[in-house]
Amino acid sequence: QEIFGPVLTVYVYPEQRFQEVLELIDSSTAYGLTGAIYAQDKRIIKEAQRLLRNAAGNFYINDKSTGAVVAQQPFGGSRSSGTNDKPGGPHYILRWTSPQAIKESHVPLQDWRYSYMQ
């Protein structure tokens, strides 16, 4: 059951079970609108980002987890909470497109190295 409204979940766990708890968070629900982690240790933050990469549409680190910036952040969830490309946002058109990056050089290459490498 998806619940709309502010929900705060607090789970106290032994420090040595941190990775296990992240895996529990990632596998406990089919929904994932927003998530946040508060930590000072950069290794912990990096590990949380890695393990929770699919757990929330908007993921905050040491910041409040409400109020996506309209027209600057795609607002939507992960998994069954949405497609993360809600109408009105800059990413909406990507739902029906396949972006391609093209780089064209207008001066013929003279060497395999870039100039800053010499």
CATH architecture of 1-117: 3-Layer(aba) Sandwich (3.40)
pLDDT in tens, the chain (118 residues): 777 777 777 889 999 999 999 999 999 888 887 888 888 899 999 999 999 988 888 888 988 777 667 666 666 677 777 655 555 566 667 767 776 666 766 777 788 787 777 7
- pTM of the predicted model, to two decimals? 0.61
What are the angstrom distances between the C-alpha of 22 and each of 15, 18, 31, 55, 78?
A: 12, 6, 15, 10, 16
Q: By CB neighbour count within 10 A (0-12 exposed, 13-18 middle, 19+ buried), where does 48 fall?
A: buried
Cα–Cα dist 17/87, whole Å: 40
Give the pLDDT score at 6. 74
Beta bridge partners of 51: none
**Structural contact between residues 49 and 19, judged by C-beta atoms closer than 8 angstroms:** no
